[in-house]
Every structure is written in C-alpha cells, then in structure tokens.
Structure 1
Amino acid sequence: MALDRWIALAFIALCCVYGYAAFFTMDDSLPPILRRNPIWPSTFPKILSVLGIIVGLVVLFTPKPATGDDTPKDGVIDPSRLSDYNLIQAIALLVLMVVYALALRPLGFLGSTIGFIVLGGVILGERKLHILIPVAAIAAGSIWYLVQEVLGIFLRPWPGFLA
C-alpha cells in the first residue's frame, strides 16, 4: 500500500477516536440547563470527525491513475529520497511550535507570538529582519486586538511579571 493510503488510514483512526470522544464522552459533563441548547460544545468536534472520516475514506479508496513513466512529479513525496527534503527545517518548526506553546504564559501572547513568527521566518530562510519584525509585531498585535477586544476573550498580552 502506498504512503498516502497509510497516512489516510492513520487519519481515519485518529478521526474515529476524536469522533468517539465527541459523540460519547464530551456531553456527559454538561449541566442540565445547557442540554437544551441547539448547539453544544461538542457540535463542531462531531462535524470535524465526520468530515475527517469522509476525507480519509475518499483518499483511501480513490484509485491511483496508472502512469507508465517512473519519473517523480512535482509535489509527490518519494520516501527513497527523504534526504533531499528540508527535514531539519520541518523538525525545527515543530520544536519551535512546542516552545511557543510553553512560552505563552511566561512571555505573554505578544512576546511569544512575535518571537515565534520571527524565528519561524528565520528558520524558513527569511533574512530581511527590518521587514520581518514589524510584520510580526503588526500580525501579533492585530490578532491580540481581535481576540481581546472584539471577541472579548481575555488574552494576557504581556509577561506575567509585568501585569
């Protein structure tokens, strides 16, 4: 079986576990007053799990077109040539995401988000820091403003020792 079929199978299994949690375990802790609402906290996870299973099944059962040539096409991952890909960049970005999640409380949203965007851009090869830093600051500030002021969800902008 091809790599994309194995990934689709793993994705279907993940969506089944997520769907089980959404359909059978999330709604048990709801207070009785919330059980009358038309939309519950588990509504979106239920939709996501069903759509994920459908997409996984489409990928799993879509027949591969028969091609006669063995030359790799653009966008196709060849497992025998993994050393040709930028795996170090991908792993560095994954590590940076974990560090970002851990830095949200001590550094605050603005500091950790600006750092994440700037370091992520540097990892991906951007060298114009005079453009990257203001863009990161504007993006982080805009997201903070939308979440904090427009949606009304508290999001600590500064480190804990400053607030």
Structure 2
Amino acid sequence: MALDRWIALILLGICIVYGYTAWFTMDAGLAPFMRRNPVWPSSFPKVLSVLGIAASFIILTGLEKSEEKIGEIDHRRLTDYFLGQALLLLSLMVVYALCLRPLGFLFSTSAFLIIGSFILGERKWHVMIPVALIATGSVWYLVQEVLGIFLRPLPMFMGV
C-alpha cells in the first residue's frame, strides 16, 4: 500500500476516535438549558470528524487519483528536490515560535513572512515588506480587538 494510503488509514482511525468523542462523550456533560440550543459546543468537532472520515475514505479508495501521473516522490532521490528550502522553512518556523513572546507578535510575524518569502524566492522587496506588514497588522487587529484575545504586540522590554 502506498504511503498516502497508510497516512489516510492512520487519519481515519484518529477521526473515528475524535468523532466518537464528539458524538457521544462531549454532549453528556451539557447543562439542560444548552441542550435546546441549535449549535452545541460539539457541533464543529462533529463536522470535522465527518469531513475527516470522508476525506480518508476518498484517499483509501483512490477516488482522488486522476488518470495522469502527476509524479510521486522518489525517496531514493531526495537530493533532487528543494530539501534545503524545506529545512530552512522548518527551522524558521521553530525560530518564529521561540521569538513570538520575547519579540512580540508584530515584529516576529512580519520578520517570519518577509524571511519566509525570501527563502521561497521572492525578491521584490517593495512588495514583500508592505504585504507582510499589512497582513501582520490585520491579523493582530482581528485577534486582539475583534476576538478579544490578548496578543503581545511589542517586545517584552517595551513593557506591553
């Protein structure tokens, strides 16, 4: 069996356990007044479990495969792929996660987006920097002001 089908089989097991939890154990502890609500706290996990099970079945049965052979990853020729870029991006993600609290959300996320796009080959600095700053500011505003979840915007030494 191909690697994608093994992964789909593992994900199918996880989705079945997740679905069982969402359908049978999460609703048992609901307060009586919440049982009349149209949307329960378990509604989204139920939808996720059904979609995950459906996607796993599609992969297991091979329905997503087309007639064209797109190209399988040859594990014997890993050096032919952009392995350096992938490893750099993974290490950048780790550095981003470590710098998020001490350097703040705005600086860390902007730097992550700019450096990540540079690693992927973008060289138009006049496009990269404004897009990263606007995206970072928009996400911070939505999370902080609209959702009301505190995100440290500035570095720790600035006292915020």
TM-score by length of 1: 0.75
CA distance in 2, matches of 1:150, 1:64: 38
Q: Which runs of 5+ in 2 are unaligned?
A: none
* CA distance in 2 between partners of 1:127 and 1:140 (Å): 19
- Taking the aligned partners of 1:4 and 1:102, their CA distance within structure 2 comes to 32
Match in the other structure for 2:94: 98
Would the alpha carbon gap of residues 108 and 65 (structure 1) be closer, same or farther in structure 2, given more than 3 Å must change?
Answer: closer
After the TM superposition, which of the residue ranges 11-20 and 141-150 deviates more from structure 2? 11-20
CA distance in 2, matches of 1:91, 1:14: 27
Tell me how far 1:26 sits from its aligned partner: 5.1
Equivalence map 1:4-153=2 (5 Å): 4-23=4-23, 37-62=37-62, 73-153=69-149
Paired with 1:95 and 1:131, the residues of 2 have a C-alpha distance of 24
Q: Deviations over 1:8-35 (max 9, x none)?
A: 2222233234334544665677667656
Unaligned stretches of 5+ residues in structure 1: none
Which residue type is aligned with residue 96 of structure 1?
L
Equivalent-residue separation in structure 1 for 2:103 and 2:70 (angstroms): 41
1:51 CA drift (Å): 0.7
Structure 2 vs 1, CA of residues 49 and 102 (structure 1 numbering), >3 Å: closer, same or farther?
A: farther
What amino acid is aligned across from residue 44 of structure 2 in structure 1? F
Aligned residue identity for 1:140: T
